[in-house]
Amino acid sequence: MAGGLVALLDDVAALARLAAASVDDVAAAAGKASAKAAGVVVDDAAVTPRYVHGVDPKRELSIIGRIAKGSLRNKLLFILPGLLLLSQFLPWVLTPLLMVGGAYLCFEGAEKIWHVLHPHHEKKEEPSSAQGPEAEQHVVSGAIRTDFILSTEIMVISLNEVADEPFLSRAVILVLVALGITALVYGVVALIVRMDDVGVSLAARTSTLAQRTGTLLVKAMPKVLSALAVIGIAAMLWVGGHIILVGTDDLGWHTIYGWVHDLEHWIADVMPFADGAFEWVANTAASAVLGLLIGAVVVLLVNGVKRLRRGKASAAH
């Protein structure tokens, strides 16, 4: 028994040395995996600031910190172990699972466009700071639940990029991705929600430069948030569409990807001087269009189901 334990510890030590020896490769893979999840990251950064809207400025960073801890807990304790087990024992599930996440991204992007084209007025809620600690906890819990969906998408996309790595490398890479993306998203969110306060503080100083900088920050923040929202929608459609485009090809349905591939080759023949830039644009545009089409279909289906439920509820009364 003791000999077996010593052998096991030796194996663990060997794995640790192997991981340490390949730390540069792991870091590079983690960076690549994180980059592929950019669309969801932008969406996460665009969504989260609304949870502290109307909150006492003194509580903003505390609430963001609680949401960030919940996000990290989601990733490390629930999502990461589940995905690692799937990748080890049921790797064929990852592509369909990734495509489901891609379809959800397409739905999210198309739904946001739908709301812009068909605005509806909702009852304005009282800020959580005015409702007490229970309301604040409700806001934090809701944000963490939403983050769970976005974090799952991030981790699935990241795992798909390193699916061929050994188990230990996959685990280390995903931990790095979880830590890095959580720090990035909520660091950016904290910066965004406090930037107007920084601007007000600078505008109150005696220095002319400080006043101008502060005024610029205060005026710029609404535009930054609006731009971030638009970029988030575009990124969701592009990333979601591309996930489905590649997934269909991996599953043996080569027609759609073949069309896009032919388009890339045609552009390369017409504009060889572009060195692949227009080919990337074509692939991105095609992915976004596919994402919009798929998202629109899902939005129509979801709205149809909602109408049916409302009709049944009205008939029951």
- In this predicted model, what pLDDT tens digit does every residue of 220-261 receive, in sequence order? 877 877 777 787 788 888 888 988 998 999 999 999 999 998
Q: What is the CA radius of gyration of the chain?
A: 23
CB-side neighbour CA atoms (13 Å) of 300: 6
- One-letter amino acid at 291 equals G
State the pLDDT confidence band at 41, using cuts at 50, 70 and 90: low
List of residues 6+ apart from 252 with CB closer than 8 A: none
DSSP string of 223-268, one letter each residue: HHHHHHHHHHHHHHHHHHHHHHHHHHHHTT--HHHHHHHHHHHHHH
pLDDT at 133: 66
Contact 155, 33 (CB under 8 A): no
Highest average pLDDT, of 35-44, 224-233, 293-302, comes from: 293-302
List of residues 6+ apart from 150 with CB closer than 8 A: 40, 43, 44, 47
pTM of the model: 0.71
Residue 113 token pair? 């466009």
Percent of the chain with pLDDT over 90: 17
Highest average pLDDT, of 26-40, 51-65, 119-133, 281-295, comes from: 281-295
pLDDT at 244: 93
Nearest by Cα to 180 from 16, 15, 32, 9: 32
Contact 186, 64 (CB under 8 A): yes
Terminal CA-CA length for the chain: 69
Contact 174, 80 (CB under 8 A): yes
pLDDT at 122 over 60: no
User: pLDDT tens, 162-195?
Assistant: 778 888 888 888 888 888 888 888 887 788 777 8
